[in-house]
Structure 1
């Protein structure tokens, strides 16, 4: 059994891509009434970690207040997928991400990605950006974060599991499975909401991914530095 297993979200943790996702929804929903779209986008900014499939469903049920016409939701999802395929690979790394992954890998720490992004798209982007090599597996939607995290725990028994995320969905998945949660705040889309959540639940906050190693060094082993 490993001493430690590290699980990371992608958007806002590995890539500075949260704003790209919001801009993508704005683009693909531009034909719908602007006030409705703006209300939905305000919600979407607080719901990172929720899959695009659930978000599009919420757009119809909670904002348009109607069911989609035949093929309407699929058309939005396809358009959003095309937008992400074009723009996702252009998003910059978060500051220090590559360094942190390299250092964790050098210490033999198994790492996984659990993200709300479409799994096939996510794997392609991380492969193209040269990060896929660091991870034992890369898991995304349509499977939920909580269910994917359960898969990680089964695949990687460890004395301690750490989940690094930037959204409420990350924290809730970590709490459900008794993982230590670290909030990477710098690129988070909903900092106000996460600040309230942190005040209530007292989880750790970092501003750059390399700071995670400092926390792990203090808590576990001086060799992680």
Structure 2
């Protein structure tokens, strides 16, 4: 019986993909369009990874250049400024999942474990008025599998009583690495090989 639900944020609670696409295009607007397109493809295939990983991937893999930790931080901060402006609109909330969260948060232990920057994530949740539904809100730069591991240990949660809901293969990998159940959502590519939630109106644990 599931008692503890760990939620991914982007694509599960907030429909943010296009805004985050815009953010990467904006911070890298001085680079070749084809290179930025390659980053957007990588970003969309790896929604659960942090912007820190994606910025480094852009430089080290796509551009084949080195980048310092400080430079990564500068880009990440610029990206966060854009997100704080663009993502506080309540219209971006996914009502299907949000209605489930609002109606069930007293019946389960809800936590957010996201690839989004933690400070930005907490800001957005406060601005959107949803922080109260979650016991904790965790994000990057700590990798998601580490966030899950720490959370299970800190709250002494049983793996059999815990699950992670996410929209990317990275979310599945974080759940699998910690031996908890995974449910895919809002990504048809996850339907074939994973437990999948078509709508929370029909979701039973």
Q: State the TM-score, normalizing by the size of structure 2.
A: 0.90
Cα distance in 1 between the residues matched to 2:16 and 2:200 = 15
Deviation per CA, 1:15-37, whole angstroms, max 9, x where unpaired? 11122111110111111011111
Q: Which residue of 2 aligns with 1:220?
A: none
1:48-197 correspondence runs (5 A): 48-68=47-67, 72-90=71-89, 92-107=92-107, 109-156=108-155, 157-158=157-158, 159-185=160-186, 188=187, 191=188, 194-195=189-190
Instruction: Work out the number of aligned pairs and report it.
Output: 202
Gapped regions of structure 1 (runs ≥ 5):
217-225
- Secondary structure of the corresponding residue to residue 49 of structure 2: coil
Deviation at 1:149, TM superposition (A): 0.4
Cα distance in 2 between the residues matched to 1:207 and 1:176 = 24
Q: State the TM-score, normalizing by the size of structure 1.
A: 0.83
Deviation at 1:98, TM superposition (A): 2.7
Cα distance in 2 between the residues matched to 1:138 and 1:112 = 6
Q: CA RMSD in A?
A: 1.9
Summarize the Cα distance change of 1:173–1:83 in structure 2 as closer, same or farther, 3 Å threshold: same
* Aligned mate of 1:207, from 189, 198, 203: 198
Q: Is the 8 A contact 1:13 1:209 kept in 2?
A: no
Deviation at 1:111, TM superposition (A): 0.7
Q: Which residue of 2 aligns with 1:222?
A: none
